[in-house]
């Protein structure tokens, strides 16, 4: 037993010495090629075996012939291991180099193309992650371009919409100042109307800026969908009477939702105002609320005649107005963008689709956790 322990001790000391030397070499080469590190690892493995064997052989007083045989065998094993490690290292380094070239092109704004050379599983997984990231970035760049285009359109439209009422206000104020107004009371009423219009546009811009900045404050509370729809219908009733449009409530599931009641009422009000303005006289705007699994879908259906298919994907973009028939006389193309922003802030989704004779706007919201 004592001899076995001595052999183990000598083998451990020899191998530990080789291991320490290998660790020092790896520290020196830590910034060098991966192939060099693999070669050092192979040398450490074989060197540890050689050092342990020689230490045991010296302790056991082997003959010089036996010692040379053992040394030759271990040296051949070391040579084969080093060559194998170097070949493997070169393959890995080549794969890393190809991956770096592909990543460089991806970083310069192009699409990522995975290297054709076979690579280890870890590098293949990294290549797949880079390819997925490239797709996400491409989609993000496309959304950014679309957003920038919508912002430019918004600036142009806002500039036009501000210029028109400001010019009218200036003309009316000059007429009042010069005493040229035949009906001053009518001018005052018109000035008030234009001021209310401008105030509404500024309010919409402020709301939209908070939505885009992610700073929209939400005071969530448990509210019945029935109450939300009722409040929105009551607020839109005067405008509907003015345009000769009938308001109809469809199936209304009184499902509870966790929302900011004020903001969600604004969502429904924007959808109703949009629907009323684009529905001809004697037309009908219908509101419904239906439960689907763990969500509730609020819908507003109008009789506008439908939206062209090519415009359906842009309806909720900032500044979108679509065709002349759907351009509200007092809007700036912000109402539906605000709708989408508020709904998404509630972890919901806003959609639109054409139906017979008009279009249907849908707001999907998660149910209250206690009822989902």
Instruction: Provide the pLDDT for residue 325.
Output: 39
Instruction: Provide the pLDDT for residue 324.
Output: 44
At residue 345 the predicted structure's pLDDT band, cuts being 50, 70 and 90, is confident
**pLDDT tens-digit profile of 300-344?**
999 888 888 888 877 887 666 665 434 444 455 678 888 888 898
Highest mean pLDDT among 71-80, 174-183, 208-217, 353-362: 353-362
> In the beta sheet, which residues pair with residue 360?
301, 353
Q: What one-character-per-residue DSSP string does 148-186 give?
A: HHHHHHHHHHHHHHHHHHHHHHHHHHHHHHHT--S-HHH
Query: Regarding beta strands 284-292 and 246-252, do their DSSP bridges make them parallel or antiparallel, or are they unpaired?
Result: parallel
- CB neighbour class for 282 (10 Å; exposed up to 12, middle 13-18, buried from 19): exposed
Please state the pTM of the whole predicted model. Answer: 0.55
Beta strands in the chain, from DSSP E residues, in sequence order: 221-224, 246-252, 256-259, 284-292, 295-301, 349-355, 358-366
**Is the model more confident about 293 or about 358?**
358
At residue 193 the predicted structure's pLDDT band, cuts being 50, 70 and 90, is confident
Q: Which of 365, 210, 223 is closest to 296 using CA atoms?
A: 365
Residue 161 near residue 201, CB atoms below 8 Å: yes
What is the Cα 304 distance to its own chain's centre? Answer: 33
Name the average pLDDT for the chain: 77
At residue 299 the predicted structure's pLDDT band, cuts being 50, 70 and 90, is very high
**pLDDT tens-digit profile of 257-289?**
888 888 888 899 989 998 998 899 888 999 998
Query: Regarding beta strands 284-292 and 295-301, do their DSSP bridges make them parallel or antiparallel, or are they unpaired?
Result: antiparallel
For tokens 């005493």, name the residue.
179
With pLDDT > 90 as the criterion, what percentage of the chain qualifies? 8
Cα→Cα distances 298→216, 228, 250, 253, Å: 22, 10, 10, 10
Distance CA 343, CA 252 (A): 19
Instruction: Provide the pLDDT for residue 142.
Output: 79
> In the beta sheet, which residues pair with residue 299?
288, 362
Q: What one-character-per-residue DSSP string does 15-35 give?
A: HHHHHHHHHHHHHHTTTS-HH
Distance CA 217, CA 224 (A): 20
Residue 47 near residue 92, CB atoms below 8 Å: no
**Integer Rg of the chain from CA:** 38
Long-range contacts, 227-234 (Cβ 8 Å, 24+): 227/261, 228/257, 228/259, 228/261, 228/264, 228/265, 228/268, 228/298, 229/268, 229/287, 229/289, 229/298, 231/265, 231/268, 232/265, 232/268, 232/269, 232/272, 232/287, 233/272, 233/287
């Amino acid at each position: 037993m004592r001899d076995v322990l001595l052999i183990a001790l000598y083998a451990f000391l020899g191998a530990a010495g080789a291991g320490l030397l290998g660790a020092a070499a790896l520290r020196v080469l830590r910034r060098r090629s991966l192939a060099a590190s693999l070669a050092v690892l192979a040398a450490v493995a074989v060197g540890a075996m050689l050092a342990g064997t020689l230490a045991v052989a010296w302790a056991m007083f082997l003959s010089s012939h036996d010692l040379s045989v053992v040394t030759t065998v271990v040296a051949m094993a070391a040579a084969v291991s080093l060559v194998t490690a170097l070949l493997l290292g070169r393959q890995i380094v080549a794969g890393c180099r190809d991956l770096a070239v592909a990543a460089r092109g991806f970083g310069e704004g192009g699409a990522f193309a995975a290297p054709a050379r076979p690579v280890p599983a870890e590098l293949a997984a990294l290549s797949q992650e880079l390819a997925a990231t490239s797709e996400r970035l491409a989609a993000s760049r496309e959304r950014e371009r679309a957003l920038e285009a919508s912002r430019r359109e918004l600036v142009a439209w806002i500039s036009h919409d501000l210029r028109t009422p400001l010019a009218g206000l200036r003309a009316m104020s000059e007429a009042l100042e010069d005493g040229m107004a035949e009906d001053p009371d009518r001018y005052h009423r018109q000035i008030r109307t234009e001021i209310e219009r401008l105030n509404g546009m500024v309010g919409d811009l402020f709301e939209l800026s908070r939505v885009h900045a992610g700073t929209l404050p939400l005071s969530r509370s448990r509210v019945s969908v029935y109450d939300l729809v009722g409040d929105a219908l009551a607020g839109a009733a005067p405008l509907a009477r003015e345009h000769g449009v009938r308001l109809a409530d469809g199936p209304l599931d009184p499902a509870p939702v966790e929302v900011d009641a004020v903001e969600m009422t604004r969502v429904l009000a924007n959808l109703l105002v949009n629907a009323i303005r684009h529905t001809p006289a004697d037309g009908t705007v219908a509101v419904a609320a239906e439960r689907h699994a763990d969500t509730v879908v609020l819908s507003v259906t109008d009789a506008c005649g439908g939206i062209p298919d090519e415009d359906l994907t842009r309806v909720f973009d900032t500044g979108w107005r679509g065709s002349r028939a759907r351009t509200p006389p007092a809007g700036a193309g912000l109402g539906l963008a605000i709708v989408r922003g508020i709904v998404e802030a509630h972890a919901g989704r806003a959609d639109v689709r054409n139906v017979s004779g008009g279009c249907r706007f849908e707001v999907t919201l998660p149910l209250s956790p206690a009822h989902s």
